[in-house]
Amino acid sequence: MKSILVIGIGRFGRHLCHKLIELGNEVMVVDKDEENLREFLSLATSVQIGDCTKEDVLHSLGIGNFDLCFVCVGSNFQSSLEITSLLKEIGAKYVVSKASRDIHVKFLLRNGADEVIDPERDIAEKLAVRYSANKLFDYIELTKDVSIYEIPPADSWIGKSIKEVNFRVKYHVSILATIVGDKVLPLPSADHKFGVDEHLMVMGHHNDVERILKLIK
């Protein structure tokens, strides 16, 4: 469980807060508009009305006590930039800021953001990868070269064990887990046999996983 500050409750901030709270974190929500905060009165750990472009408002929140600060002010880039910079000056441990354009990403990073997310770009890139491949259920990019993929087993593997397929040596990809329905088996043993209805969570370099995807029809 972490102590998290979320500044700005638009569409993205709202979804983010709901999920953070659902995951058991202590969440303080701050916005200039009282109406945006109403739904979190009974959900969040704390709710505050305030203009976070003002340094005294941020000081009053006890910024140093939060493990993580999200700046989700999407409609006003100047405000997002000011808040991000002030948070780091005051002593925020880790600041994640939301951007809507590539140029915004560069400025936010230069002005104190530890991490910048561009939700529309990130989702678009993920969808492009997912729907360009056969039978790719999910995709998480770890670095530019390595990702985690959720895929079905190839027909030629069914009924064979990981050892029999010689999976790691042959494909240079690691199996992190197998999934059947709601059941997840982390780090399956070499004796695990591939099943028709299971999904595989695999991690590897893009080129290696793409070779596997070509086997799956």
d(CA 84, CA 78) in angstroms, rounded, equals 10
Are residue 138 and residue 203 in the same domain, yes or no?
Answer: yes
Are residue 180 and residue 129 in the same domain, yes or no?
Answer: yes
Are residue 84 and residue 126 in the same domain, yes or no?
Answer: no
Q: Are 61 and 5 in contact (CB under 8 A)?
A: yes
| Environment class of 66 (CB within 10 Å of its CB; exposed 0-12, middle 13-18, buried 19+) | buried
How many domains in the chain? 2
Look at 137 and 28; give whichever has higher pLDDT.
28
Report the candidate in 1, 22, 2, 33 with the shortest Cα–Cα distance to residue 96.
Answer: 2
Are residue 10 and residue 112 in the same domain, yes or no?
Answer: yes
Look at 3 and 130; give whichever has higher pLDDT.
3
| CATH code, 12 | 3.40.50.720
Are residue 134 and residue 85 in the same domain, yes or no?
Answer: no
Q: In terms of residue numbers, what domain contains 195?
A: 122-213
**Last-in-domain residue among 117, 145, 172:** 117
Q: Are 112 and 87 in contact (CB under 8 A)?
A: yes
Q: Measured at the alpha carbon of residue 44, what is the angle toward residues 38 and 50, in degrees to the nearest 5?
A: 60
What is the residue type of 44?
A: A
Q: What percent of the chain has pLDDT over 70?
A: 99
Are residue 9 and residue 27 in the same domain, yes or no?
Answer: yes
- Taking 90 as the threshold, does the pLDDT of residue 198 lie above it? yes
State pTM to two decimals: 0.70
Q: Are 69 and 3 in contact (CB under 8 A)?
A: no
**Last-in-domain residue among 117, 142, 175:** 117
What is the residue type of 6?
A: V
Are residue 141 and residue 72 in the same domain, yes or no?
Answer: no
**Last-in-domain residue among 117, 147, 166:** 117
Are residue 107 and residue 22 in the same domain, yes or no?
Answer: yes
Are residue 30 and residue 75 in the same domain, yes or no?
Answer: yes
| CATH code, 145 | 3.30.70.1450
d(CA 96, CA 110) in angstroms, rounded, equals 13
Q: What percent of the chain has pLDDT over 90?
A: 75
Are residue 9 and residue 113 in the same domain, yes or no?
Answer: yes
Residue 207 to residues 58, 130, 135, 171, Cα–Cα distance (Å): 46, 15, 16, 10
Are residue 113 and residue 139 in the same domain, yes or no?
Answer: no
Segment 174-185 mean pLDDT: 93
Are residue 84 and residue 160 in the same domain, yes or no?
Answer: no
- Helix or strand holding residue 107 (H, E): helix 102-110
CA 189 to chain centre: 28
